[in-house]
Structure 1
Amino acid sequence: MAAGSALAGGMTLMESEAGESADAVARMLAANADGFARIAARLRDAPPTTVVTCARGSSDHAATYAKYLIETQVGIPVASAALSVATLFDAPVVPGNRLVIAISQSGKSPDLLATIALHKRAGAYVVALVNAGDAPLRDLADEVIALSAGVERSVAATKSYICSLAAIAALTAVWSGDTDLRDAVDALPDRLRSAWALDWSAGVAALSEADNLFVLGRGYGYGIAQEAALKFKETCALHAESFSAAEVRHGPMAIVGRDFHVLALGGSDRAGASVRETADVFRARGAQVLLADPVADEAELPALAAHPAIEPILLVQSFYKMANALSLARGCDPDSPPHLNKVTETL
């Protein structure tokens, strides 16, 4: 670990910040209660025909979560904006009644700002989920959901990502009127504390010498699989690819054989059952499977049962603690990965 990256007691910034997620989510929910209600009322009064998400990196993985949650809870199609359409191709956007959700920790990336400006000119209603208080993105948005995660000094985003997921769940719960989801969101801070306490050390032991792995999820959990694969690369110097448990069967599974590593992120719904089925197929081939699942007796990694839309948020909280430990076990510095900066200003 690089000198100066550890806090007192040897804790890394990544571990410290990820461990603050429960308190950060509680702050975020309290700070935005009126905003969620106001946005949801606007969306019910004038339902958008489509939802467009604008994000990169970890924030784009939160956007994947938003796609599944909004489409299943509200029924409106959600698409991810290709930000280069605005910055490289200067292409126009057809006017329409769209909701645009921009997700960013810094709110400063030029391609994100250019895309939002383009959609605003086309009449979109823009909601920004942003952490930084001085973000230029705030000035472009019709409504701002302050992620309230606090400063993240580690390059690897953790608590801000979890706050993004929680904000998406909270907004969708109010918009859809799903009281079960609203209750699950209210209980999320306490559940995150319990998820942080789970023992995922089996993952450190299994992956300390790994070279490649697949991370599987499906439905609400797919965006979390994307995030886990990124963190393996970013903090552990471990090549990882994320797949839907359905999509992995369309070609990629051909390379999964004896001793190939797989992290499977299950759940208590039908999507989680699909992940478990795929994990069983890979086990039969001799793959080294780590299943994190709240209902499976054979799961190698413990997970908490909750509302199916909330379980992935709890999984990623447990994962972050394991990823930090794995990074250190592999001789990496999780706080300062090589060649990376906190703010990536792409065009």
Structure 2
Amino acid sequence: MYAEAQEAGEAVARQFAANADAVDDLTDYLRQRPPRFIVTCARGSSDHAATYGKYLFETQLGLVTASASPSVGSVYAVRPQLDGALFVAISQSGKSPDLLRNAEIAKAAGAHVLALVNVLDSPLAGLADTVLGLHAGPETSVAATKSYLCSLSALLQLTARWSNDAALFNAVHELPDALRASFAQDWSPLVEGLVGARNLFVIGRGLGLGAAQEAALKFKETCGLHAEAFSSAEVKHGPMAIVGPGFPVLAFAQDDGTGDSTVAVAEEFRSRGAPVWLAAPGRGGAGSLPLARSLHPAMTPLLTVASFYKAANALSVARGHNPDLPPHLNKVTETV
């Protein structure tokens, strides 16, 4: 896990070079035939990437984006009305039966199916209209790290080209080096603080919500630590009632309009006596976790997660777990 997460910068650079022509062709197509809306379909870490994609598409392109529930097509056999939609299926393996079935349904309904997949000869790649390879390379740790970050970077590269936003394009250019810098950040205070923890909230908002979801999953699967992810807005609608002395909170704040509210929630939890760690660009103080420099808010979640992965690996080892082989889990999960 450590080595694969550390390689994310190189993997993203490889991906950007390999996909440049395919991304240009796809964005030309999408400008000529603008989709009415976007639908994502994924599970696990890939679904957390889809959460990021939703906020990315909606904030940068103004296109309503919804998450398809795979069971609707694979179990309930419902055929949604997807004519004129862009259907984005995200998968490392590209062979989960429920994801394949939903992609087939979407294509038959008239959607343009885009596959973001690490295995280029997978069944999903074979049925998609357009394939953007993740190019993460082999990933042997059960916990997805560089393949998750490559899913986010593929969404970022596509959106930057599609939107013609110069600031976003510059962020894409700098991303590989920024990921390398992110992995070098020292989050050891978080590791030391959570060695004996039993429960945890991870909060984020907007573009950073998917990062919070991904961190909560990694705490569970690699560290044996029960963690729940919440929007910093949604956590105030009930869940925050259980936060107090001895209940840890990890907060990911964005450098955009959601940042101040996320910091405010983190500070409220700290005032109740909760141990709080905050990763927020440009902010210091007690409990602050350092972040590499980000050129754009859409880039920030990738840098946050890259730093988090290094800490999660260290925490897993400190708690007596094997981060590469979590109990009861397989590298590829095939659901129907």
TM-score interval for Structure 1 and Structure 2 normalised by the shorter chain: over 0.9
2:199 corresponds to 1:245: no
1:300 maps to 288
Bigger mean CA offset, 129-138 vs 60-69: 129-138
Task: Give secondary structure in 1 for the equivalent of 2:335.
Answer: coil
Matches within 5 A, 1:248-259: 248-259=235-246
1:131 maps to 118
Which amino acid letter does the alignment assign opposite residue 189 of structure 2?
Answer: A
Which amino acid letter does the alignment assign opposite residue 262 of structure 1?
Answer: V
Which amino acid letter does the alignment assign opposite residue 331 of structure 2?
Answer: K
1:28 maps to 15
2:319 corresponds to 1:340: no
Question: C-alpha displacement at 1:95, in angstroms?
Answer: 4.7
Structure 2: segments with no counterpart, 5+ residues = none
Q: TM-score, normalised by structure 2?
A: 0.98
1:188 maps to 175
Q: Residue 129 of structure 1 contacts residue 164 of structure 1 at CA under 8 Å; is this kept in 2?
A: yes
Q: Residue 268 of structure 1 contacts residue 305 of structure 1 at CA under 8 Å; is this kept in 2?
A: no
Bigger mean CA offset, 253-262 vs 295-304: 295-304
1:4 maps to none
1:224-275 CA distance string (max 9 Å, x none)? 0000000000000000000000000000000001121000011221212221
- Give, in whole Å, the separation in 1 of the partners of 2:22 and 2:170: 18
- Give, in whole Å, the separation in 2 of the partners of 1:92 and 1:155: 33
- Give, in whole Å, the separation in 1 of the partners of 2:187 and 2:219: 15
2:213 maps to 226
Q: Residue 136 of structure 2 contacts residue 146 of structure 2 at CA under 8 Å; is this kept in 1?
A: yes
Q: Residue 218 of structure 1 contacts residue 271 of structure 1 at CA under 8 Å; is this kept in 2?
A: yes
2:122 corresponds to 1:98: no
Task: Give secondary structure in 1 for the equivalent of 2:258.
Answer: helix
2:55 maps to 68
- Give, in whole Å, the separation in 1 of the partners of 2:82 and 2:46: 25
Q: Residue 202 of structure 1 contacts residue 300 of structure 1 at CA under 8 Å; is this kept in 2?
A: no
Bigger mean CA offset, 201-210 vs 268-277: 268-277
1:314 maps to 303
1:163 maps to 150
Q: TM-score, normalised by structure 1?
A: 0.95
Question: C-alpha displacement at 1:93, in angstroms?
Answer: 2.2
- Give, in whole Å, the separation in 1 of the partners of 2:283 and 2:36: 39
> How many residues in Structure 1 have an aligned counterpart in Structure 2?
334
Task: Give secondary structure in 1 for the equivalent of 2:254.
Answer: coil
- Give, in whole Å, the separation in 2 of the partners of 1:126 and 1:164: 16
Structure 1 pair 239/95, CA: closer, same or farther in 2 (3 Å)?
closer
Question: C-alpha displacement at 1:45, in angstroms?
Answer: 1.1
2:254 corresponds to 1:267: yes
Task: Give secondary structure in 2 for the equivalent of 1:126.
Answer: strand
2:269 maps to 282
Question: C-alpha displacement at 1:46, in angstroms?
Answer: 1.1
- Give, in whole Å, the separation in 2 of the partners of 1:67 and 1:269: 16
1:181-207 CA distance string (max 9 Å, x none)? 011011000001110100011111000
- Give, in whole Å, the separation in 2 of the partners of 1:74 and 1:30: 23
Question: C-alpha displacement at 1:94, in angstroms?
Answer: 2.1
1:148-185 CA distance string (max 9 Å, x none)? 00010000000000000011011001111111101101
Q: Residue 215 of structure 1 contacts residue 242 of structure 1 at CA under 8 Å; is this kept in 2?
A: yes
- Give, in whole Å, the separation in 1 of the partners of 2:82 and 2:55: 25
Question: C-alpha displacement at 1:86, in angstroms?
Answer: 1.2
Q: Residue 15 of structure 2 contacts residue 150 of structure 2 at CA under 8 Å; is this kept in 1?
A: yes
Which amino acid letter does the alignment assign opposite residue 41 of structure 1?
Answer: D
The CA RMSD measured in Å over matched residues stands at: 0.8
Which amino acid letter does the alignment assign opposite residue 64 of structure 1?
Answer: T
Q: Residue 205 of structure 2 contacts residue 254 of structure 2 at CA under 8 Å; is this kept in 1?
A: no
Matches within 5 A, 1:14-53: 14-53=1-40
Identity among equivalent pairs (%): 59
- Give, in whole Å, the separation in 2 of the partners of 1:255 and 1:328: 28
1:213 maps to 200
Equivalent residue for 1:116, pick from 103, 107, 129: 103
Q: Residue 267 of structure 1 contacts residue 295 of structure 1 at CA under 8 Å; is this kept in 2?
A: no
Structure 1 pair 135/202, CA: closer, same or farther in 2 (3 Å)?
same
Equivalent residue for 2:160, pick from 173, 180, 184: 173
Structure 1 pair 98/240, CA: closer, same or farther in 2 (3 Å)?
same
1:79-132 CA distance string (max 9 Å, x none)? 001100111111122251000011000000000000000000001101110001
Which amino acid letter does the alignment assign opposite residue 258 of structure 1?
Answer: P
- Give, in whole Å, the separation in 2 of the partners of 1:221 and 1:205: 24
